[in-house]
Structure 1
Amino acid sequence: MTWEIVAGMVTFVGFLITVVKTVVPLTNAVTRLTERIDALGEQVDTLDEKKTEAHKRLWSHNENQDAMLQNHEQRLHDLDGKWYSQ
């Protein structure tokens, strides 16, 4: 082998090491980010479910209060003999 071939092989090996040292951390970073995005997506889905349940409870409570207010208004109307328009 001549020195040019040896120098070319050393340069090629150095290039491969540089590429591998760059690609491996980037691949690991992308893998970690993918895992975190998946976990974040699951958390968002859980929050959406909780939000839907909370809204159902609030609307149910609101409907109960509306019925109670209507009943109260009706009793006031019956006691006063007047109807208050909204």
Structure 2
Amino acid sequence: MAYKTTTWALAQRDLKPATKLVLVHLANYQNKTTGQCNPSQKTLARDCGQTVSSINRHLSVLERRGLIERLRQFDARTGAARATQYRFPKAPC
């Protein structure tokens, strides 16, 4: 857990409560040493008490506002989707 990122997420204004909850839970998954953050949407849905489709909508809102970046990854051999990595471009390091 990266406390600076979680504190930053808690301080965000002008977000609907459910969207902010997703941001805070997402920030909680950031590794403080590597900065890596890649929880599944299913994990976020469970943590936030929401559906996966709701999580995806909230992530889209956060991405449009520039609060997160999503880096989708694919297996080079099979083309199958792999874990999405999340970044927080406006959060303190």
TM-score (norm 2): 0.18
Instruction: Identify the structure with bigger relative contact order (alpha carbons < 8 Å, sequence gap 6+).
Output: 2
TM-score (norm 1): 0.19
Structure of larger gyration radius: 1
Instruction: Determine which structure has the larger helix proportion and give its number.
Output: 1
Instruction: Determine which structure has the larger strand proportion and give its number.
Output: 2
